[in-house]
Structure 1
Amino acid sequence: MPQLSTIVIILLACATKLNANNSNDEGSLKSKIETNNEKIRLLEHQIAITDKEINITKSFEEMIAVIAALRPEMLKTYPTYCLPDGKSAGTHSIHLSDKTIEVICDADTARPGWIIIQRRINDDVNFDRSMDEYKDGFGNLENSFFIGLRNLYALLSIQQHELFIALESLSGETRYARYNNFQIANENARFKLLSLGEYEGTTSDGLRDSLGKNFIAYDSNKGTEEKTTSNGWWIDEGLNGIGSNLNAISSQWNTWPVGFKSVKMMIRPIMQTNRSCEAKEEPKKVQNIATKVCNWFGL
């Protein structure tokens, strides 16, 4: 493409010179020169954009090829990395010791490798569900859904995971909350929120009030007439933790914003970057590949 740019500019320059030699009208000559100069500037701009698009495409294709080559080995070490075969996002099967879970992968929100565990993008799916439904999961992976507490526990119990919460307001503003050690207890312990780790983000640390709380839904306290909450979340009987209830009739995250256009919760195993990204003893080519992979994953 740089060669093409040079050729185009030379040709236009020659055309300008010819026009100058064949014209006796000085005003017309200046006009033609200005017109050709403007064409040169436009072509340079278009060529630069094309070059950038080609480089982005090549970079993406190169990453897909690298991930495809490394995928089998990566999944041996990180079985819950969301890496669809030959794709960067879409449906994927996670093979656990006693079952296989179909999940949806996200590579656009916070780079590749994420499993979406909860998503609300419209009101087609009702989140006012029983505890049994929250245990098993509900909805459609391509639409709004909840992955299910049993599946979530099975995924998190394999190794350390981080949690990413993506929020979009009705006005289109996006913010996020990220926690580097997301853990919940098993079913016997009522899927208590055991750990969040450190917080990072552009919204508030809203989930912190739910730490140490059991996951409860409207029928968690069977035998009582009062509903503790209308939608399942990590909340106690005093409603502590309700401020971050993304499953509520209207999703909440403290006081921001008044309403949501979409919410999404995702998990990804923590990659041991000192082992996976630092190929100090390997050839330079291997080091470059390792660096590219880790940059692509945002590590």
Structure 2
Amino acid sequence: NDNLHNILSARDYKLRIDLEDWNGKTRYVEYDTFFVGNEATNYVLTIGNYSGNVEDSIVFSGKENCDINGMAFSTWDVDNDVDDVDNCAKDKKHAGWWYNACTRANLNGIYYNGGVEENDGIYWKNWYSSDYSLKTVTMKIKLHFRRCS
């Protein structure tokens, strides 16, 4: 995460996430801002405005406990989520991610062949349920050039 923070600190970036199911259908989302804080912030995630052809599962308006914008990164041994009972990273089989009271998108979950129905796989809940493990997910960053007004 330090390397990612160092890259993102140098310039403005946006994030694109490409999703593919086991039938070859694809979807994408883009966020016009993507930044990860440093170790002192526990690698807090900052995500900007959404666009795409699938409903947003990261900055999920209407469900505050699912929105991961502003959340610190959690791992199985460092619980930074806001769930008072569970450690979401541990529950998702050691998947490090930015969890709130868990998440509607788990892109670091276990890779299951054939869309296996397990809730610890790789999922985008607003496309399929959290029990459907996607075939591929790619996260890409790109320089974001802002226009002068």
When normalised by structure 2's length, the TM-score is: 0.73
RMSD across aligned positions (CA): 1.7
The separation in 1 between residues aligned to 2:87 and 2:50, in whole angstroms, is: 31
Query: 1:244 maps to what in 2?
Result: 105
Deviation for aligned residue 1:272? 4.4
Query: 1:233 maps to what in 2?
Result: 97
Query: 1:160 maps to what in 2?
Result: 12
Please state whether the residue corresponding to 2:58 is helix, strand or coil: helix
Query: 2:3 maps to what in 1?
Result: 151
Query: 1:109 maps to what in 2?
Result: none
Deviation for aligned residue 1:188? 0.9
Deviation for aligned residue 1:220? 0.6
Query: 1:106 maps to what in 2?
Result: none
Please state whether the residue corresponding to 1:153 is helix, strand or coil: helix
Residue from 184, 187, 204 that aligns with 2:39: 187
Please state whether the residue corresponding to 1:206 is helix, strand or coil: coil
Query: 1:267 maps to what in 2?
Result: 141
Deviation for aligned residue 1:218? 0.5
The separation in 2 between residues aligned to 1:192 and 1:247, in whole angstroms, is: 17
| Superposed CA offset, 1:223-252 (max 9, x none) | xxx64322000013x32xx21110022111
- Whether the 8 Å contact between 2:54 and 2:126 is mirrored in structure 1 is no
Query: 1:214 maps to what in 2?
Result: 72
- Whether the 8 Å contact between 2:55 and 2:126 is mirrored in structure 1 is no
The separation in 1 between residues aligned to 2:72 and 2:53, in whole angstroms, is: 26
2:55 maps to amino acid: S
The separation in 1 between residues aligned to 2:37 and 2:88, in whole angstroms, is: 21
**Which runs of 5 or more residues in structure 2 are unaligned?**
60-66, 80-85, 111-120
Deviation for aligned residue 1:170? 0.7
Please state whether the residue corresponding to 2:109 is helix, strand or coil: coil
Which structure would you say has the larger RCO, counting Cα contacts within 8 Å and 6 or more residues apart? 2
Aligned length: 118
| Superposed CA offset, 1:191-243 (max 9, x none) | 011x211111011111111111111011114xxxx64322000013x32xx21
- Whether the 8 Å contact between 2:97 and 2:108 is mirrored in structure 1 is yes
Query: 1:254 maps to what in 2?
Result: 125
Q: Structure 1 vs Structure 2: percent identity of aligned residues? A: 32
2:98 maps to amino acid: W
Query: 1:204 maps to what in 2?
Result: 55
Q: Against the structure 1 CA distance between its residues 171 and 207, is the aligned structure 2 distance closer, same or farther, given a 3 Å change threshold?
A: same
1:1-299 correspondence runs (5 A): 149-193=1-45, 195-208=46-59, 209-221=67-79, 227-229=87-89, 230-236=94-100, 238-239=101-102, 242-249=103-110, 250-257=121-128, 258-272=132-146
- Whether the 8 Å contact between 2:42 and 2:72 is mirrored in structure 1 is yes
Greater C-alpha radius of gyration: 1
